[in-house]
Chain A
């Protein structure tokens, strides 16, 4: 394998991983943008998304043999799991965060950690502690493209992640509700003066963020196994990606996610960082960014209000 091919190989691997981080990071950043609050249960939503997606996929394909139907069933399962998790995210917001909106900033944070425990323990209780495998919805024999070996599931991840990010960008920049979301995140009380219902916007934000997490959960389940605490480390890294990109900034979350995916992949491949230390890369990057540019790559330094 030539070194150029090798470079592109890592690039594809890094972008695949980064695309998933980005999808999940968006949920953290959107919620933070509006409520200035880190939803620590976000990683567990992606776990629920992976489980429900897997169950629906298995149900839909039944005993049929692998074929085009499997792929269609996978896409249906993904959409269904996104819808279910959007509902779950909005319900959690109503029950666990909304009553605490006027409380000290620490209260919803603790509530989120509680929700996180409830979801992961609930999943272990309901679905067992054994990890499961989400089957590929197609023959996943790697394809050889210009000397680069790309697995079909990587193409699926890249395509889905790209579609989701483009769709979100269009929604936020062009649609009436998207603009209202940005206005609310910039200045909630002035947004209210415009007639924008901030409760509705907050709910919508949780819905969209959770749907993206479910999508990311199902995609990462193609790479790792599905288990009750699968969302912890992935969620934490996506959070790091959101902070690195500049928390509250949607473009920043996408950039941070991709960057983190690339750094992890190239860190192992080029710098020879042992695979077992892979997870440390994200946090090392976080520390460096916090030291050099605490507001994140695309974040704006916030002025303290006095």
Chain B
């Protein structure tokens, strides 16, 4: 197993407020890794900085040994967001962010924007329709007509259209019914196992996220406070008290 994503001592701030304070972590190829933490801990900021939507103030992020972004003395240099998908990184953003006025099919087309061969796009769409039947049945409908859970499925399917090596998910369970969240996590496990996609999830639903993961990280106030095997974190007294409500 090799290290796919390496985050080395990064700091990010919004004006005078620092959101990430020297965060280091790594994601091994083939794993499902989750990062749990309360609202405002800096989880989303971390994902945004990986995809270049939030500039680093300090530190570096590399993917397969290639630097995606780094900052020295407050000067940031990074790969533009729109080039990341070519390198094999896809993000399912917080709040799903499907293109509401585009049909389901067009949303999937956008996910495969970088794929130039029509036959490949067509084939991947068919795979997605098979994997997420609800999307297949409604492919010609505007995605605004989908329910929250369905939109989350679409957002995942859209990200998979680029055939990523690393799939990042920002709070996939946010605002969804528990059964639907469970369903999404089951699907993610299949994607990880069968398509060999490495997955990094940021989630507030700690129990579900850790149960589905190999590795877990806990973030508090912009710092990683715990890092361990997910199974071990589920038994950790501190995690149980703060995040599992026990």
Contacts and interface: CB of A to CB of B under 8 A. Distances in A.
Interface of A: 176, 179-180, 182-183, 186-187, 189-198
B110 A183 contact: yes
Contacts of B113: 176, 180, 194-196
A191 B106 CA distance: 12
Given A183-B99, A186-B102, A189-B81, A194 B53 contact: no
A195 B91 CA distance: 11
A235 to B, nearest CB: 27
- Interface of A, secondary structure class, is helix
Contact of A195 (B53, B82, B99, B101): B82
Given A180-B110, A183-B102, A189-B53, A194 B97 contact: no
Interface residues of B, number: 25
A189 B84 CA distance: 13
Contacts, number: 64
A97 B55 CA distance: 23
A195 B102 contact: no
Contacts of A193: 51, 81-82, 84-85, 90-91, 93
A267 to B, nearest CB: 33
Contacts of A191: 99, 110
A174 to B, nearest CB: 10
A202 to B, nearest CB: 12
A176 B118 CA distance: 10
B240 interface: no
30 contacts: A176-B113, A179-B102, A179-B106, A179-B109, A180-B113, A182-B101, A182-B106, A183-B102, A186-B101, A187-B97, A189-B53, A191-B99, A192-B53, A192-B80, A192-B81, A193-B82, A193-B84, A193-B90, A193-B91, A193-B93, A194-B82, A194-B85, A194-B111, A195-B82, A195-B83, A195-B85, A195-B113, A196-B110, A197-B80, A197-B82
Contacts of B82: 192-198
A186 B100 contact: yes
Given A179-B109, A180-B113, A195-B82, 19 more contacts: A179-B110, A182-B99, A190-B97, A191-B99, A191-B110, A192-B53, A192-B80, A192-B82, A193-B51, A193-B84, A193-B90, A193-B93, A194-B85, A194-B113, A195-B83, A195-B85, A195-B86, A197-B82, A198-B82
A131 B189 CA distance: 71
A183 B114 CA distance: 14
Contact of A190 (B84, B93, B114): B93
